[in-house]
Amino acid sequence: MKIICIGRNYLKHARELDSDVPDEPVFFMKPDSCLLLDNRNFFIPGFSSEIHYEVELVVKINRLGKTIEARYAHRYYDEIGLGVDFTARDVQRQLIAKGLPWEKSKAFDSAAVLGEFIPKETLGDPGQIEFSLRKNGEVVQAGISGDMIFSVDTIIEHVSRFVTLKIGDLIYTGTPAGVGPVKINDRLEGFIGERKMFDFLVK
Ligand code: MG
């Protein structure tokens, strides 16, 4: 399985990073060794002094597909979850400045936290899915799916032109504004609506 992540998919987040607003989806990948499951502790890696959280809605692919049209994309997933796309921001900044790939800043072990999933039918309007991240009890990020620059179905259409999607693949759909650093003993709790999707500690 593979993890596909969408960058700059919320206007306010693109602006907070001084990034251009993309005219088509920006994606990158993480290996399966990134997954951090079951609310296990996240350990800050030694190579970075600026690890940022990015809370994101996550789509789980349930069918094999290639060159999927957006109007059929809804058939390729039936669960939505929540995760964190951990980013070594200091490392990423250096890589971007040199025009190098992002993997060192995005694809390190435990950089893809994954919580629970919810059947999408139970979430109602796909444009009205509210989600949030609390750090030490305080809301630091709050988003709504309708603010995505590219919808899930558009993302699936775009990505599947380049990469075959397989059962179990995950798509992290981008983060809203409010990203920021973590430090040892921080507690991160993610919510879709009122429902808690993950709850873990930074060590
Ligand atoms: Mg992200």
CATH number at residue 193: 3.90.850.10
Q: Looking at residue 11, what is its pLDDT?
A: 92
* Separation of CA 199 and ligand 1 centre (Å): 19
Ordered alpha helix ranges (H), 20-114: 89-98, 103-106
Question: Which pLDDT band holds residue 17 (cuts at 50, 70, 90)?
Answer: confident
Distance 59 CA to ligand 1 centre (A): 14
- Confidence grade of residue 155 (pLDDT, cut at 50, 70, 90): very high
Measured CA to CA, the distance from residue 49 to residue 147 in angstroms comes to 30
CA–centroid distance, residue 151 to ligand 1 (Å): 15
Tokens 């998919």 -> residue: 9
In the reported structure, the alpha carbon of residue 9 is separated from the centroid of ligand 1 by a whole-number distance in angstroms of 8
Whether 21 shows a pLDDT value over 90: the answer reads no
What pLDDT is stored for residue 42 in this prediction? 98
Measured in Å, residue 175 CA sits from the centre of ligand 1 at 5
95 Cα: distance to centroid of ligand 1 (angstroms): 16
Number of compact structural domains in the chain: 1
Three-state DSSP class for residue 86: coil
Residue 109's domain comprises 3-201
